[in-house]
Amino acid sequence: MTVQHAPAPELCLTTDVYAAIQTRDPGQSEFHQAAHEVLESLEPVLARHPHYTHHRILERLCEPERQLVFRVPWVDDAGHVRVNRGFRVEFNSALGPYKGGLRFHPSVNLGIVKFLGFEQIFKNALTGLPIGGGKGGADFDPKGRSDGEIMRFCQSFMTELHRHLGEHTDVPAGDIGVGGREIGYLFGQYKRITNRYESGVLTGKGLNWGGSHVRTEATGYGTVYFVSEMLAERGQDLDGRQVVVSGSGNVALYAARKAHELGAKVVAMSDSDGYVVDEHGLDLDLIKDIKEVRRGRIKEYAQTMTRARYVEGGSVWDVPCSVALPCATQNELDENAARTLLAGGVAAVAEGANMPTTPRAVRLLREAGVAFGPGKAANAGGVATSALEMRQNAGRDAWSFEVTDQRLAAIMAGIHTTCLTAAEAYGAPGDYVVGANVAGFVKVADTMLDHGVI
Ligand code: NDP
């Protein structure tokens, strides 16, 4: 049956949609920033395809399908009751179940979860896999908390969230502050409450109980595969290059590892207190031991490795490099940092983190001709491997590390090609920002049209 639609009462261009978001959701600055960055790429698409405007695709895309905000009470080791706020934004399910990580960090609020969920829609579309977009988390600070406290918090969080999840409905994973330990506690509580061993309800699981090889490494590895593709497009590679990585969490550790494996020298990494520089190249096993085993601070590297230098505070982007991989958090690489990087001869920047580069910094880097890989494309390897984990769970299968890594590399190469093709088609050859936004949007928008007005 063909559904007849009345003409749209007025033309809704991207600026109108953006103004409406600002009015409707005041104070959600990160969400405004993420939406603006996508919307400004879409003008040529809307001009060529007026039916998207006619069917109000932009307005529908910018409004989450469902937003959950809930109380998370728990008891600390001293017996005191604590109360945090939990979130899950189920943004768009056009392409599949909502998919996106959980972030536990004191800065988490609804605007941050919405920015992350919005980005996730397009990122997930770019992977070519059947996953919608969502994100969640809590304003809980896991730093300094005992294992018992982390477990009780995760159990309380899942006691509320479980009713909204399911392998065909909504499938969370990790993000800042949520790694293998937290996913384990969350999965255990889901299993206990539902009495179902539903492996596909969470990703990032342990290898003994439904996890996938390479999921831990995937975001960092994928980011470096993407950088390699961008450099190869220019007839270059990573061999011998000086690399700086911000952060020293999951994404940063494995981005640094893969860059090293491909012949680069990783000279600096950071955490939220400061950064370490080691001109001879960082000992990545030592960093991994400090951050993953001891759960310590990056400054401990310079205490053990006396040839290294620790800089308290300051910006890791002051260290000259030819490849910069921001892998910590949003808006960590600003205009000043971009200028410093350009002065130091940076050739490529790829976002391992979500929206780590401010809009002005992105503009400076693109205008200077730096190969710039936006997070939607460059860090999509994590969620892509999560989707591969879901596929293995559905088939009660387990692939080897090598097979999974090859699939990840192929997916990243595919995303790179998709971005270039879309950028070329819409008059911005070589621009990965435009390419990622347009290609992700068109796929989701066309599917929303197929599904009718819902
Ligand atoms: P982790 O919690 O493992 O690591 C985060 C790292 O960033 C830590 O080193 C942390 O330092 C540092 N950091 C956090 N906040 C700040 C800050 N305000 N200033 C400086 N450093 C900071 O998180 P992930 O590695 O998982 O995530 C990092 C980024 O990658 C996030 O943007 C996330 O959304 C994105 N991402 C993650 C994916 C994944 O699979 N994990 C997938 C795709 C994107 P400290 O210990 O001092 O807090």
Read off the pLDDT of each residue in 224-238 and give the average, rounded to a whole number.
98
Which residue ranges have their beta carbon within 6 Å of ligand 1?
101, 174-177, 219, 247-252, 271-273, 327-329, 332, 352-354, 379, 382
Å from CA of 143 to ligand 1 middle:
13
The structure's pTM equals 0.96
Query: Which class does domain 66-197 fall in?
Result: alpha beta
**Same topology between domain 66-197 and domain 218-378:** yes
Looking at ligand 1, which residue's alpha carbon is closest to its atom 15?
329
CA angle, 237 then 280 then 324, to 5°: 45
Tens-digit pLDDT profile for residues 328-361:
999 999 999 999 999 999 999 999 999 999 999 9
220 close to 250: Cβ distance less than 8 angstroms: yes
Which of 30, 175, 386 has most ligand 1 atoms within 8 Å of its beta carbon, as the pocket-test mutant? 175
Residue of 137, 92, 95 lying closest to 119 (CA atoms): 92
Q: What is the structure's pLDDT at 1?
A: 38
11: pLDDT strictly greater than 50: no
Characterise 243 by phi-psi region: left (phi > 0), alpha (psi -120 to 50), beta (else). beta
Looking at ligand 1, which residue's alpha carbon is closest to its atom 19?
272
- Architecture (CATH level 2) of domain 218-378: 3-Layer(aba) Sandwich (3.40)
Tokens read off for 271: 């955490």
Indicate which atom in ligand 1 lies nearest the CA of residue 218.
Answer: 40
Please give the share of the chain, as a percent, with pLDDT higher than 70. 97
103 close to 183: Cβ distance less than 8 angstroms: no
Å from CA of 329 to ligand 1 middle:
5
CA angle, 212 then 413 then 399, to 5°: 20
Domain boundaries, the chain: 8-62, 66-197, 218-378
Tokens read off for 241: 């290059």
User: How many Å separate Cα 177 from the centre of its chain?
Assistant: 13
Quick one: which H or E segment has residue 323? strand 323-326
What is the gyration radius of the CA atoms in the chain, in angstroms?
Answer: 21
Å from CA of 313 to ligand 1 middle:
17
* DSSP 8-class letter at 452: -
Instruction: Output the average pLDDT for the chain.
Output: 96
Indicate which atom in ligand 1 lies nearest the CA of residue 248.
Answer: 9
Å from CA of 396 to ligand 1 middle:
31
6: pLDDT strictly greater than 70: no
Residues known to be catalytic: 135
Which of 145, 251, 334 has most ligand 1 atoms within 8 Å of its beta carbon, as the pocket-test mutant? 251
317 close to 335: Cβ distance less than 8 angstroms: no
Tens-digit pLDDT profile for residues 243-302:
999 999 999 999 999 999 999 999 999 999 999 999 999 999 999 999 999 999 999 999
Quick one: which H or E segment has residue 367? helix 359-367
Quick one: which H or E segment has residue 417? helix 401-425
| Beta-strand pair 348-350/371-373 | parallel
Instruction: Kindly indicate the confidence band of residue 12, based on its pLDDT and cuts at 50, 70 and 90.
Output: low
d(CA 20, CA 36): 12
Instruction: Name the phi and psi angles at 278, rounded to 5.
Output: -140, 100
